Amino acid sequence: MVIWLILAICAAAIETFAVQKQIKRLQFPAKPAVMIFLFIWLYTNTGLQGNALWFGLGILSSLVGDVVLLGKSDRMFLIGLNAFLLTHILYLLGFQEQLRNITAWSFVLLVLIFINGTRILTRIVGSMRARGQNALVIPTIVYSLTISLMLYAGMSTIFDPTWTTSASFFVSVGAFLFFMSDIVLAWNKFVSPMKNGHILNLITYHLGQICLIAGIISQLG
């Protein structure tokens, strides 16, 4: 039912507006509402059958991460990081066929993601160490490797003939935007503040999740 997609988009827009205007009474209910509506949308279209179950569980893990990250401390950040790490592991389970079937083109994609991801991660980790936030270094490295693998798995559907063009397009765009949202978050927090960085993080995160689930529904619904 498309109504749940519309509600998710509206909730994402409300949260972005609330953050921009610093209206916390709007932000707190709107942030978890996005994932709740996406979960219902996925459930009503797939019944969480087959690999859709892993994506449904991933949405719920994202919901936990979203709520935890409403806190601003390093401890809350670390808990939220673990929640989203679980999200990406669950999404990887949903993409298990793509992880098992590596083609020449998907291998090239994997190498490109690894090279560029390593360059970005090196800069972020260097800033963490300079700030004395060494406790976050190992979790951040593990998280970065996992989300890079998730990006690869999502985008490799382009080379999978069992995936429709529309489904692989949405999943690829969604995985890329999700990946970029985490880069923006980490860069803004550890390297240097970006102009409208928090807003950019929210927009890429919500659009990434929405596009990814749209692709899953298109393929499995």
pLDDT > 90: percent of the chain: 73
Distance of alpha carbon 217 from its chain centroid, rounded? 17
216 — pLDDT class (breaks 50, 70, 90) = very high
Does 198 score more than 80 pLDDT? Answer: yes
Q: What is the pLDDT of residue 25?
A: 87
Summarised one tens digit per residue, pLDDT across range 68-97 is 988 777 778 788 889 999 999 999 999 999
C-beta separation of 30 from 18 below 8 A? yes
pLDDT in the model for residue 168? 96
The pLDDT of residue 12: 96
Gap between the Cα atoms of 206 and 167, Å rounded: 18
The per-residue pLDDT for 1 is 74
**Host domain of residue 198:** 2-220
Question: Which is higher by pLDDT, 202 or 133?
Answer: 202
Residue 102's pLDDT band (boundaries 50, 70, 90)? confident
Arithmetic mean of pLDDT, 202-214: 96
Average pLDDT of the segment spanning 156-173: 95
**Is a pLDDT exceeding 90 seen at residue 153?**
yes
Lowest mean pLDDT among 78-87, 95-104, 152-161, 186-195: 186-195
Q: Give per-residue pLDDT as tens, 20-35.
A: 888 888 888 999 999 9
Buried/exposed code over 175-197 (b: 16+ C-beta within 10 A; e: otherwise): bbbbbbbbbbbbbbbbbeeeeee
Q: Residue 190 has what pLDDT?
A: 86
- Considering its fold, how many domains does the chain have in total? 1
C-alpha to C-alpha distance for 142 and 82, rounded to whole angstroms: 10
| Res 136 pLDDT > 90 | no
- Considering the chain, what is the average pLDDT of its residues? 92
Q: How many CB atoms lie within 10 A of CB 173?
A: 19
Phi and psi angles of residue 189, each rounded to the nearest 5 degrees, phi first = -85, -40
